[in-house]
Amino acid sequence: MDYRQSGVDIDAGHEVVRRIRQMARSTFTPHVLSQIGSFGGLFRLDTTAHRDPVLVASADGVGTKLKVAFMAHRHDTVGEDLVNHCVNDILVQGAEPLFFLDYLATGSLAPDVAEQIVSGVVRGCRENGCALLGGETAEMPGFYAAGEYDIAGFIVGVVSRDRLIDGRGLQAGDALIGLASGGLHTNGYSLARRIAFDKLGLQVDDHVGELGVTIGDALLAPHRSYLRIVRPLLEQARIKAMAHITGGGITDNLPRVLPDTIDARIDTRAWQVPPVFQWLQRSGGVPVEDMRRTFNMGIGLILIVGRDDADAVLSAVASAGEHHARAIGELVAGEKRVRYV
């Protein structure tokens, strides 16, 4: 018996690296000093571009959104989801992305599928100005079901220490500005799949009239990156804090950036909850409290700014092409929690 008979195809692994190499090079910046295939990626930090530079790192995955990709046989979007999620996670602290690493694990390596997945990673890296510095492709027979895989991403960014956004200076009266999500992003899919496929018995290609698309298209809508919208505001130093609305929704994510003596009061009438969330809530009979702790409800990022800066920030994000930003509430005295009104 040889390694291939035990389930690991080394030649397939080499073929994946060959296909990835040229795509990854398209993301390289002048600071990349290595090539794909090296034992470690090399990146030169430009210390002249930042005063007292601080590195900001994060890691994340796509969760059970992958199950929808498996069902739809569509693998070219989840890599972009992964990059954008990680970019937003470091953006809330004011960091610009420098480089990205990915990890792809599967039971049996299919070069065509791996190429599709990495094409999404590459697209996300290019759009965010982030170098795909390296990664790992692991073939693990007997560990994953046939046709399934998992992906994870690791990002490093940089911010000048005096530009670090950490919530200092937050006070009652500060304004909350919500930026629209592109759908479910990468959270809440265990509940969404249970409703759509188990309770309603839908197939991934079934058209849902209320949504105007197939259920697969609705659930695979990409996770947005907010870097392009927020970058000008970072340069103006108008933002006091930000929250990326991921697992836990506004209810659990916004308090992560609040002081112990401050609450966030959210005006639920300030924006129209997108149809996909309304459909899921009604179809699944989901209590509103669970909806708010499971899904982003149409708000993917929240900016916290001074009351007097709110109009200028809304104008700035509109000028950057974000026409669905809304003032959605304010900070009030309290105990580090979210109140919905």
- pLDDT confidence tier of residue 109, bands split at 50, 70 and 90: confident
- The yes-or-no verdict on residue 8 having pLDDT over 70 is no
- pLDDT confidence tier of residue 69, bands split at 50, 70 and 90: very high
Whether the CB-CB separation of 130 and 98 falls below 8 Å is answered with yes
Q: Which long-range contacts (CB under 8 A, 24 or more apart) does 168-171 make?
A: 168/240, 169/240, 170/240, 170/241, 170/257, 170/258, 170/259, 170/262, 170/304, 170/331, 171/262, 171/331
Q: Whole-angstrom Cα distance, residue 186 to residue 62?
A: 6
Query: Do the domains at 10-163 and 175-340 have one common CATH topology?
Result: no
Pair of tokens at residue 196: 């759509």
Query: Domain-by-domain residue ranges, the chain?
Result: 10-163, 175-340
Q: What is residue 257's predicted lDDT score, i.e. its pLDDT?
A: 96
Q: What is residue 2's predicted lDDT score, i.e. its pLDDT?
A: 57
Q: Which among 177, 333, 315, 308 is positioned nearest to 241, based on CA atoms? A: 177
Whether the CB-CB separation of 128 and 227 falls below 8 Å is answered with yes
- pLDDT confidence tier of residue 4, bands split at 50, 70 and 90: low
Per-residue b or e along 263-277, where b marks 16 or more CB atoms closer than 10 Å to that residue's CB: bbbbeeeebeebebb
Q: What is residue 48's predicted lDDT score, i.e. its pLDDT?
A: 87
The 10 Å Cβ neighbour count of residue 232 is 14
Q: Whole-angstrom Cα distance, residue 158 to residue 59?
A: 15
Q: What is residue 38's predicted lDDT score, i.e. its pLDDT?
A: 83
Reduce the secondary structure of the chain to three states and give it as a string.
CCCCCCCCCHHHHHHHHHHHHHHHHCCCCCCECCCCCCCCCCECCCCCCCCCEEEEEEEEECCCHHHHHHHHCCCCCHHHHHHHHHHHHHHCCCCEEEEEEEEEEECCCCHHHHHHHHHHHHHHHHHHCCEEEEEEEEECCCCCCCCCEEEEEEEEEEEEHHHCCCCCCCCCCCEEEEEECCCCCCCCHHHHHHHHHHHCCCCCCCEECCCCEEHHHHHCCCCCCCHHHHHHHHHHCCEEEEEECCCCHHHHHHHHHCCCCEEEEECCCCCCCCHHHHHHHHHHCCCHHHHHHHCCCCEEEEEEECHHHHHHHHHHHHHCCCCCCEEEEEEEECCCCEEEC
Whether the CB-CB separation of 60 and 153 falls below 8 Å is answered with yes
For 10-163, give the CATH class: alpha beta
- The yes-or-no verdict on residue 9 having pLDDT over 70 is no
Q: What is residue 309's predicted lDDT score, i.e. its pLDDT?
A: 93
- pLDDT, tens digit, 9 for 90 and up, residues 15-57: 777 878 888 889 999 999 988 878 899 999 998 888 899 999 9
More confident residue, 36 or 83: 83
CATH homologous superfamily of 175-340: PurM-like C-terminal domain (3.90.650.10)
Cα separations (Å) of 164 from 61, 154, 192, 199, 300? 25, 20, 36, 46, 21
Q: What percent of the chain has pLDDT over 70?
A: 96
Which of 138-142, 144-148, 240-244, 312-316 has the largest mean confidence? 240-244
- pLDDT confidence tier of residue 1, bands split at 50, 70 and 90: low
- pLDDT, tens digit, 9 for 90 and up, residues 281-321: 999 999 999 999 999 999 999 999 999 999 999 999 998 87
